[in-house]
Structure 1
């Protein structure tokens, strides 16, 4: 059962640049409600279509298997991983950022955090050996690798664990690479780990 849903913002330099954002000095953490989680199992995902552009952001997702303790290694803390999409109401986010308001309205709506099937986490070093990709309507639109993250996995779990806590069932969206963009009703998304399809959906 998924508990807390932590998300890391601006964790790839090229993604920060494409949105005109500064690169943070420490991990930028925000939360999504657990009710935002959905499965990426080929089904139709209903997303808000009346609030401006909805952007996709493909990400590696980690699932925590035990409580965080200072000094624990990420390979011991994380039991499984998946791929997910951080759906964002971009026009809404732009407006609330100008007002200095929280991001919940732009990031926390229902179905805003769909996640593929989970597979065993091979360890941080081994995970660097595979890219993850997002295909929209059959065309690759994003490609990422954790070795390109600004804040590596160990730093992410240490920061979240020390500041907010991490326990069994928590998941972490680790940030999106460049290539995000708008989606529309009828679009299909497929998420691959290497050559392995982990999840897909159709936008409703």
Structure 2
């Protein structure tokens, strides 16, 4: 018997797929922290090389490339963090690293927007980062490219321009934890499922955005990403 909702449920967040009429429905968003040593250093942190760590964003935070968003509320210091995003088409629990890539559908350019002042305040009080990380339009994403079309993850360049100036520039080879390692580790704590997205961390060069900023992200082999920030 169909459910009789008290009010209309939210629209299903989706991501377009390169060369496909079908779209990728988003289930959950996992984000890897401090996965580039240079970024950890610029934030005054050491890298934990024993295991990756994570935070999450709501699926409703998804923001597609190509438009303009309002400067986030409640912050005076919102930062950009360019990321390589992995989309899963199958799931699993306690997946061995050797089998992890079998879960992957494809990849996209992404930006993790962060209310840095709120994140910093939470860190000082040893509180969760939710206010700093999980908010509307905080998970910007470009078009997904199927895994087979992208090829092996290696030395592809990952970069971000703010107002035409390159501010983040690295390669995927600089990730501390590889995609198979991340999937295998994450699957020890969650039953991963189709539609899950993993933002795999940001390289050095994160910094503030302002009303009027234009962000343009690129990863070799993927569709570029562009977003404007309004006042």
- What TM-score, normalized to structure 1? 0.93
- Give unmatched runs, 5+ long, in structure 2: 1-24
Q: Which stretch shows the higher mean deviation, 108-117 or 145-154?
A: 145-154
Q: Give the match for residue 12 of structure 1.
A: 36
2: CA distance, partners of 1:174 / 1:14: 15
Mark the CA change 1:144 to 1:88 in structure 2 (over 3 Å): closer, same or farther. Answer: same
Mark the CA change 1:196 to 1:2 in structure 2 (over 3 Å): closer, same or farther. Answer: closer
2: CA distance, partners of 1:195 / 1:8: 22
Q: Give the match for residue 67 of structure 1.
A: 91
2: CA distance, partners of 1:127 / 1:159: 18
2: CA distance, partners of 1:79 / 1:98: 38
Provide the secondary structure at the position in 1 that maps to 2:76.
coil
The question of 1:36 aligning with 2:61 is answered yes
- Give unmatched runs, 5+ long, in structure 1: none
CA RMSD, 1 decimal = 1.8
Mark the CA change 1:138 to 1:98 in structure 2 (over 3 Å): closer, same or farther. Answer: same
Q: Which stretch shows the higher mean deviation, 56-65 or 122-131?
A: 122-131
Moved over 3 A (4+): 122-125
Mark the CA change 1:33 to 1:131 in structure 2 (over 3 Å): closer, same or farther. Answer: same
Choose from 121, 137, 142 the match for 1:95.
Answer: 121
Q: Give the match for residue 133 of structure 1.
A: 159
How do 1:98-137 residues align onto structure 2 when only pairs under 5 Å count? 98-122=124-148, 126-137=152-163
Tell me the CA shift for residue 73 of structure 1. Answer: 2.3
Q: Give the match for residue 180 of structure 1.
A: 206
1: CA distance, partners of 2:104 / 2:229: 30
Choose from 173, 195, 209 the match for 1:169.
Answer: 195
Mark the CA change 1:195 to 1:160 in structure 2 (over 3 Å): closer, same or farther. Answer: closer
Residues 13 and 23, structure 1, Cα contact 8 Å, conserved in 2: yes
Residues 100 and 180, structure 2, Cα contact 8 Å, conserved in 1: yes
2: CA distance, partners of 1:195 / 1:135: 17
The question of 1:203 aligning with 2:205 is answered no
The question of 1:21 aligning with 2:39 is answered no
Count, aligned residues: 203
Q: Which stretch shows the higher mean deviation, 10-19 or 137-146?
A: 137-146
